[in-house]
A = this chain, B = another copy of it.
Amino acid sequence: MKPIQAMRVGLLGIGTVGGGTYNVLTRNAEEITRRAGRPIEITVVADKDVARAKELTGGKVKVTDDAFAVVTDPNVDIVIELIGGYGVAKELVLKAIENGKHVITANKALLAVHGTEIFAKAQEKGVMVAFEAAVAGGIPIIKAVREGLSANRIQWVAGIINGTTNFILSEMRDKGLPFADVLKEAQRLGYAEADPTFDVEGVDAAHKITLLSSLAFGIPVQFDKAHIEGISKLDATDIKYAEQLGYRIKLLGITRRRDNGIELRVHPTLVPSKRLIANVEGAMNAVLVQADAVGSTLYYGKGAGAEPTASAVIADVVDVTRLSTADPENRVPHLAFQPDALANLPILPIGETLCGNYLRLRVADQPGVLAEITRILADRNISIDALLQREPEEGEDQTDLIILTHVCREQDVLNAMDVIGKLPVVKGAVTRLRLENLQ
């Protein structure tokens, strides 16, 4: 029998996820070794806060403040990058790859923006870059799309992939409170950061759906082409109207294959209340995948937090450990498709995308208003799926008109909104949200 050699891991960053990774690897060492066939050993930790890192690791592991020493350390086989951001993290990842280390990262921003460069370098050096933790935390969604559904032509992916915004939307609906109040509460509870921009404006979700889009359709990562809208402008009124019409509003990352290209977008979306994904509440994540052979599959779990994210990081460590001795040509490709077989499908400009719509208008309570508005929609090939018109409140001469449209072209809707917004009978701006039936 060959002596069994431990896999030696260098950990860059021992904050929330790094600490969770250290703890889970230590606590479940026996179980993980029984699976991997080899012990996994963190041999060095790099963190700016050396004192804290020493405390967390109880003096059992070498600690340094020099991350660059780790990525060049000949006693490290795998580098786990948990620093985040595009700056030094990128340098470290590239340096690790150059030095023949496999890299595991939870850094969706880095991969969504610089993935092409990083994967090409890894390919050249014959090492793996694994990133299960970059999307939907502990849910093994990358593995599912990349390997579990490999028989399929995937048609679309739609996901609740940002826990902060799903928590805020759940609370807005439950308590009927406006966005700003709920955001404050979320910050107090630790569900939102002090600067919540990346989460609430949809940037984080866009990083993740960019990665899922590449895995689903075999295209290079193209974060710069994603269309991104967050929830900060969402009005509690629309959550209430949506509910009355049988819908819930979720911030979805959506990517869909069309004949002429790929849709890649993040925005608040009306989803029929009876869909499982509409019932994913609080900070939970869920990803729905539609594919030609398997149909719909859904994956649900915790999308963030120390140990759920650590679960994904360590699953990658086990995978990389198993595959590290395999011929690089027979490993699972980084983006699910062989690097020389990526497709040249364009990301469609948002005006070319297809979607259902929810329109809320403040209209004068007088004859002919509905005829005028529906004519403008019909002229632009926008057909109406449902209408809700309230009686005006006592003493008012205006009322809310809600229109749900069937799937139509985005640019047609924008044009119609422009014309409708200028009608004398329409008071104030037209509110528009997108709607997906997800069937």
Contact = CB atoms under 8 A, between A and B. Distances in A.
A294 B300 contact: no
A293 B28 contact: yes
B139 A297 contact: yes
A331 B341 CA distance: 25
Contacts of A237: none
Interface string A314-352: 110111001111110111110011100100000000000
Given A302-B295, A318-B150, A330 B37 contact: yes
A384 interface: no
Nearest to A313: B151
Contacts of A307: 292-295
Copies of this chain, complex-wide, total 2
A39 to B, nearest CB: 12
Contact of A299 (B297, B317, B331): B297
A37 B297 contact: no
Nearest to A305: B295
A345 to B, nearest CB: 12
Contacts of A149: 140, 311, 315
A329 B312 CA distance: 23
Nearest to A343: B34
A301 B295 contact: yes
A353 to B, nearest CB: 23
Interface in A143-158: 143-144, 147-153
A335 to B, nearest CB: 10
B327 A325 contact: yes
Nearest to A218: B34
A401 interface: no
Given A150-B36, A318-B147, A294 B138 contact: yes
Contacts of A322: 330-332
A330 B152 CA distance: 27
A140 to B, nearest CB: 3
A310 interface: yes
Contacts of A317: 151
Interface string A213-226: 00000100000000
Interface of A: 20, 24-25, 27-28, 31-37, 132, 137-140, 143-144, 147-153, 218, 276, 279-280, 291-302, 307-308, 310-315, 317-319, 322-327, 329-333, 336-338, 341
5 contacts: A34-B218, A140-B143, A144-B144, A151-B313, A326-B327
7 nearest interchain CB pairs? A140-B148, A151-B314, A138-B294, A297-B301, A294-B311, A34-B341, A326-B326
